[in-house]
Copies of this chain bind each other. A is one copy, B any other.
């Protein structure tokens, strides 16, 4: 299905901005943050606010889903064009060094019992640590991964073993 048709089906107008955003997210192999999208040369000098609004709009009509890292930043991933693509209903991994998020599609989210009287609308399971590229144990050369922002909570690095 073309992006144009997708947008129309969703009741949205086809615009260059939405097209570019969707194309980029379709090509990405992981959820991308606002900053990662905006920083991409393909996006040109798109207005910040427009991008925020575009992402929110696309998410609301179901063309994207979003996950928040423990840095408080939202990441977006498309799943409209490829119906077999990640629906977001699994654990996500966030690397504390390079700030990249990745999907763990093999590990779906378990069912959660609602507290009596409460209603659960959504769930999110984030695990964080160091990814294969950034893991100092594995890669002793400590290959720092460039152009990412540092995590907001730089001091919160309690390196616990997984209980």
The A interface, classified by DSSP as helix, strand, loop or mixed, is loop
- Does A121 lie within 8 Å of B59, measured CB to CB? no
Q: Across the interface, which residues of B come within 8 angstroms of A160, CB to CB?
A: 121-122
A-B contact pairs, 24 of them (CB 8 A): A56-B156, A59-B156, A68-B68, A74-B153, A93-B120, A95-B118, A104-B113, A117-B135, A117-B138, A118-B130, A119-B137, A120-B127, A120-B128, A121-B129, A121-B157, A122-B129, A122-B158, A122-B160, A123-B125, A123-B126, A123-B128, A123-B162, A124-B125, A124-B128
Which 10 pairs, one residue from A and one from B, show the smallest C-beta to C-beta distance?
Answer: A117-B132, A72-B72, A121-B129, A123-B127, A120-B129, A125-B125, A119-B129, A120-B127, A121-B159, A119-B130
- Closest B residue, CB atoms, query A134: B118
A41 within 8 Å of B by Cβ?
A: no
Counting every copy of the chain, the complex holds 2
For the complex, give the distance between the alpha carbons of A104 and B118 in Å: 12
